[in-house]
Amino acid sequence: MLPLFAVAGKGVRKPIASMPGVAQLSVDNLVEEARGAWNAGVRSAILFGIPERKDAEGTSAWDPRAGLHRLQSAQGRAAGPGRRRGRVHVRVHRPWPLRPLERDARGHVAVANDRTLPLLARAAVAYAEAGADIVAPSDMMDGRVAAIRKGLDERGFTDIPS
């Protein structure tokens, strides 16, 4: 599985020091990278979208103008006609989990897991709408996979694995 790291901009190729041969790429460069990988026989990629902006609700996760959504559409075009669902498997992960924090009764900071579930479902649907073949969270906290599955099913994406 080819790891692809998408960033905003054009003509961006920023090497990742801890991963020799791998770089953060703007969508234009990422499309070329994906096309080359496809031609070399690579049939699976995992996309990590590096958001331009972060907020407490993770709104870039479902913003159709965000880089990851543009990337997925471009990735599908790069694969060529007839090479979408069932042929090019794109598993979408976020490099930063949607985990709003809150303080419990004792003043300790805790993850507000239940508040994130509808946000994850909304993001999963946005990824499916953008053409992802597989959608999965980057962690497995309580209820996340079930919330994603329910969100996809309710929007008619019953064929998208989660």
For residue 23, the model assigns a pLDDT of: 93
Cα-based angle 71, 156, 95 (whole degrees, multiple of 5): 35
Query: What's residue 150's pLDDT?
Result: 96
Instruction: State the Cα–Cα distance between residues 14 and 107, nearest whole angstrom.
Output: 40
Q: What is the pLDDT of residue 15?
A: 96
Q: Compute the C-alpha angle 16/56/114, nearest 5°.
A: 110
3-state secondary structure of 79: helix
Long-range pairs of 33-37 with CB within 8 A, sequence gap ≥ 24: 33/4, 34/2, 34/4, 34/75, 34/78, 34/79, 35/78, 35/79, 37/2
- Give the pLDDT confidence score for residue 74 in this predicted structure: 57
Residuewise pLDDT in 10s, the chain (162 residues) = 788 888 888 899 999 999 998 999 988 888 888 888 888 888 777 777 777 777 766 777 777 666 555 555 555 555 544 444 433 344 444 434 565 667 777 888 777 788 888 888 888 888 888 777 788 777 778 888 899 999 999 999 999 887
Helix (H, G, I), strand (E, B) or coil at 84: coil
